[in-house]
Amino acid sequence: MRSQSEPAAAEPGAIARPPLVREFLLVAGLFLVYKLGRQLATGHTAEALHNARRVWDLERTLHLPSEVDVQSALLHGDALVHLANTYYATVHFPATLAFLVWLYLRRPAHYVWARRVLAAVTAAALVLPFTFPLAPPRMLAATGLVDTARVYGPSVYGPPSSDHLSNQFAAMPSLHFGWALMVAIGLIVATRPPVSHHHPERGATRRSIRPSWRWLWLLHPAITLLVIVGTANHYWLDAIVATAMLGTALALIRPQTSSGGTPTSLRSPHRTATTAGRGTRHLGSEEPALVGAGR
């Protein structure tokens, strides 16, 4: 019998952690393509403003909530609107990067899946500004909305004519919201409790209990949605289109085994070669190792 201190052998279906240098280059390339791709779609001011009026009118036709109501709530206090602007300016990239780093270190199989989904959504989102440039609601006088970042700060954008670091006419889809939603979904999936196992000798079911706090990750996309709308950087439809794109990517891209076989269920994450054997108990063949042991 193998001693408790002996390292467990890697399971045949375990997912090995991808090479660090390669993943660093891939993720850095994803962010670079995101920035450069948006710049390539600039120079459509008249068309972007025309499309903005169309989107605004369509939202009213669909009886969607008014972005004005969300902004009015933010404008009750300077501190609140300043906090919203800060959230918009500083959370987007760091939160997504931290999410990928954590998955890479703790859930390699989910990391590969999440990176592929984010890459697919980002690539699809970069195509839309070429076919449908869209000015944000803060640029459309008819909305009556305030450019909160310019008035209260901090702002990540300069005047559109001189801002060479971003494309302000690429409001649809909102990658702020799409990435935030993927971060929440990815963390909820990756921290799912292990599957329960029945013990015939004890006549009871052993269930690993994990607090329901993992669902609180949904607060990130919820806050992001209120921020992007309240600061007049996006329309409701921008978030709806981003959600549709993410949903399509999630339906097409699933976590896979290391052998590239049948995609695994999002609700049954595999243990990885780097985490196999940590925190497991050896109870013989009657008790399979718990999925995600050692979390």
75-114 pLDDT, tens digit each: 988 899 999 999 999 999 999 999 999 999 998 889 999 9
> Which is more confident, 14 or 57?
57
Give every CB contact of residue 21 below 8 A, 6+ residues apart in sequence: none
pLDDT at 31: 73
Q: Give 14's pLDDT tier (boundaries 50, 70, 90).
A: low
Q: Which residue has the higher pLDDT, 228 or 36?
A: 228
List helix spans (H) across the chain.
Answer: 20-40, 45-61, 67-74, 78-90, 92-106, 108-131, 148-152, 175-190, 219-230, 236-252
- Planar angle of CA 280, 284, 286, nearest 5 degrees: 100
More confident residue, 184 or 192: 184
What's the CA gap between 232 and 12, in Å, rounded? 51
Checking if the pLDDT of 156 tops 60, the result is: yes
Mean pLDDT computed over 182-192: 93
Angle of the 92-106 helix axis to the 20-40 helix axis, nearest 10:
160
Q: Which of 124, 117, 122, 119 lies closest to 255, judged by CA?
A: 117
pLDDT class of 293 with cuts at 50, 70, 90: very low
Looking up tokens 């243990």 gives: 271
pLDDT of residue 273: 44
Question: Could you read off the pLDDT of 199-235 as tens digits, one per residue?
Answer: 445 444 444 445 578 889 999 999 999 999 999 999 9
Scan for tokens 């959370």, then name that residue: 91
141 pLDDT above the threshold of 70: yes
Lowest mean pLDDT among 164-173, 212-221, 224-233, 259-268: 259-268
Taking alpha carbons only, the member of 180, 182, 173 closest to residue 237 is 173
